[in-house]
Chains A and B, each alone.
Chain A
């Protein structure tokens, strides 16, 4: 039986806004699709080797919590993670996890958070937070598009460098910086997004894409599997879209 090892990075510190649901989605959908799954929790002081995991997840945390794990990520695990990303390991990163893979994060008070610098983008903090429901359009590898939904809550504005693809187009909400109409980034098999929510349970096409990338990387490009989510995703998506369109009390 094919098997995937999911690495959940800093689950005791980076665990804001239901990001844990993304790991649950990867694990449960893989299991339902007949793939064996192991979840590894990888936190401060834990050993990490390049071949340990097939999919990595790094979420976001409160500032005080990011300050606790930042040194371990950048200085201890950093070189290994860099190699993994360059060699095509699948990663999903959300909010703080997304920001920390970039070149730097300068907060609005001028202080700078150390970042891995593995991918060419940077983040500038501003006072006003983007807190709202979001709708995105994702173009899949076969060229077809799919509507994704999420919830963003961030004060950082991320600007992608040349050669880094955006992950999705913003239909509703702010996305990376509220200006260029894009959300998140993709570099090799690493994805970043500001969408909490959790993102994957609501958007099974993305779960499927990540599992497919990881399985084909491990078992060859012709690896096929019968992807199964939990059902009712389409109903949930329609309900969310209807609420977002008619919701009265939208914040900024």
Chain B
């Protein structure tokens, strides 16, 4: 009865909010959880669920998994708008059928693809009982809200232990990789191929900066010794090992073979994915550019392979299933605010949401390598959802990339003064800057000064992205995410 009331509450709320033109991605679930605190467990029972957690790449990876499954013949229900707390997940479980992404093939069934906040995962993993759990990475996030990284790792470990999920986890991230310890029988690792990484480190050494970026998790928490690295990709990700306890980056089942002769920031970057369980190697082109999307793509193909093996092959490794997953990337597209591109007259606008240091680092790297970059527009707000503290912009290494930023740089948002100084400290000039209410005028200027055929890259944080999108919907008629 309570479940019925919970469901009815959620569905009615959703209808009313949608009529009012709202996204209604969290309130229905919030009310349903009030009416029936066990509604997530009841709704999740018997469903095929994949969860995706970690500080970076959740939304993009979830989006990729959904597109792959669709292409493979599965109907998909997801919380792609990014409502990834218990309330948003309850909403998706109850109301998701209304906006199921139907496969255009004969349906093999329905899979729920749920991006899950790290702290929420700890609370609801036991209710969700996912068949597959992906952990992308753990980078410093909004520390004023989440606290220590090791604590976040422990939260995820607690959640995992309430499930029997197969774990698809990043071998290059020392904190994430440690989740496999004691859970060997259900852990499958993905990451950069270790030989590839070494080759690229030697052949294309990274540019030196005045001060290196602030690193995370570069010490072994057990031995208090600095990890040694045989090779690195970015941030603290790489082929690490501890000289004390011998902990090291585990061997991958799924790995990325790559060559930085070309830049992954270019459209159509070619690489390969290897499944060492079956010794299969498949050619790929990167559908969403950016070096970090090599990890996201590999995570998505890994998760889809493992899920399909469970559903179609009793969990056994299959070269055929892996091959099909790799062959289904054709329709992958960018997620809400993540490399989303649209045309305004004869120019492009691309939004790259940046919420934390490593996200900003990767986005700046991308813009500095993008051949079509015609302008860089940085937006910085500090509402509660962003984190009140904007000091993290100083943890990012702008210096090694700044000379390759486009000629015109613009800055706005509630904390535009902080971002203005951050850019000036690189030695680069800022073309125009101003507070939040000038966001539109500065955008117009950036667009008009951007050369034809080039792209204005906008890097907002969370609430400045919402404000930007509202402006773009109003002024340029681009679509809202739930439509």
B43: interface (CB < 8 Å): no
B448: interface (CB < 8 Å): no
Contact A197 B391 (CB under 8 A): yes
A118: interface (CB < 8 Å): no
B415 to chain A, nearest CB (A): 7
Q: How far is the CA of A133 from the CA of B415 in the complex (A)?
A: 12
Contact A27 B211 (CB under 8 A): yes
| Residues of chain A lying within 8 A (CB to CB) of residue B384 | 249, 251
| Residues of chain A lying within 8 A (CB to CB) of residue B383 | 249
Contact A17 B391 (CB under 8 A): yes
A50: interface (CB < 8 Å): no
Which of B212, B382, B388 touches A11 (beta carbons < 8 Å)? B212
Closest A-chain residue to B415, C-beta based? A243
B149: interface (CB < 8 Å): yes
Using A68-B219, A131-B388, A198-B394 as known contacts, say yes or no to A231 and B214 having CB atoms under 8 A apart. Answer: no
B342: interface (CB < 8 Å): no
Contact B144 A202 (CB under 8 A): no
| Residues of chain A lying within 8 A (CB to CB) of residue B211 | 8, 11, 20, 23-24, 27, 39
Closest A-chain residue to B149, C-beta based? A62
Q: How far is the CA of A237 from the CA of B418 in the complex (A)?
A: 9
Within 8 A of B (CB), among A102-127: none
Interface flags for B360-400 (1: CB within 8 Å of A; 0: not) read 00000000000000000000001110001111111100010
Contact A151 B391 (CB under 8 A): yes
| Residues of chain A lying within 8 A (CB to CB) of residue B226 | 12, 43-44
| Residues of chain A lying within 8 A (CB to CB) of residue B395 | 15, 17-18, 20
Which stretch (B29-37, B420-428, B464-472) binds chain A? B420-428
Using A11-B212, A12-B219 as known contacts, say yes or no to A240 and B417 having CB atoms under 8 A apart. Answer: yes
Contact A27 B210 (CB under 8 A): yes
| Residues of chain B lying within 8 A (CB to CB) of residue A240 | 415, 417-418
Using A201-B425, A236-B421 as known contacts, say yes or no to A251 and B388 having CB atoms under 8 A apart. Answer: yes
| Residues of chain A lying within 8 A (CB to CB) of residue B416 | 239
Using A202-B421, A230-B421 as known contacts, say yes or no to A249 and B143 having CB atoms under 8 A apart. Answer: no
Question: How many interface residues does chain A have, given as a range?
Answer: 35 or more
Contact B425 A18 (CB under 8 A): no
A181: interface (CB < 8 Å): no
B435: interface (CB < 8 Å): yes
A224: interface (CB < 8 Å): no
Contact B150 A64 (CB under 8 A): yes
Q: How far is the CA of A58 from the CA of B418 in the complex (A)?
A: 22
A152 to chain B, nearest CB (A): 9
Q: Is the interface of A mostly helix, strand, loop or mixed?
A: mixed
A25: interface (CB < 8 Å): yes
Q: How far is the CA of A17 from the CA of B422 in the complex (A)?
A: 14
Most chain B CB inside 10 Å of its own CB: which residue of A65, A67, A197, A247: A65
Q: How far is the CA of A110 from the CA of B418 in the complex (A)?
A: 38
Contact B391 A231 (CB under 8 A): no
Q: How far is the CA of A8 from the CA of B148 in the complex (A)?
A: 22
Q: How far is the CA of A67 from the CA of B421 in the complex (A)?
A: 33
Q: How far is the CA of A65 from the CA of B212 in the complex (A)?
A: 18
Within 8 A of B (CB), among A1-43: 8, 11-13, 15-21, 23-25, 27-28, 39, 41, 43
Q: How far is the CA of A28 from the CA of B149 in the complex (A)?
A: 31
A47: interface (CB < 8 Å): no
A120 to chain B, nearest CB (A): 29
Closest A-chain residue to B210, C-beta based? A27
Most chain B CB inside 10 Å of its own CB: which residue of A24, A131, A196, A233: A24
B247 to chain A, nearest CB (A): 15
Using A196-B391, A230-B424, A231-B424 as known contacts, say yes or no to A11 and B214 having CB atoms under 8 A apart. Answer: yes
A17 to chain B, nearest CB (A): 4
Contact A24 B210 (CB under 8 A): yes
Interfacial residues, chain A to chain B (CB-CB below 8 A): 8, 11-13, 15-21, 23-25, 27-28, 39, 41, 43-44, 62-65, 67-68, 131-133, 151, 153, 196-198, 201-202, 230-233, 235-240, 242-243, 247, 249-251
A-B contact pairs, 28 of them (CB 8 A): A12-B215, A15-B215, A15-B395, A16-B214, A17-B392, A18-B392, A20-B394, A20-B395, A21-B391, A21-B422, A23-B211, A27-B211, A28-B425, A44-B226, A64-B148, A67-B224, A68-B219, A131-B389, A132-B388, A151-B390, A198-B391, A201-B421, A230-B421, A239-B435, A240-B415, A240-B417, A251-B384, A251-B388
Known contacts A27-B211, A239-B416, A243-B414; can you find 8 more A-B pairs with CB under 8 A? A15-B214, A21-B394, A62-B143, A62-B149, A153-B143, A232-B417, A236-B421, A249-B383
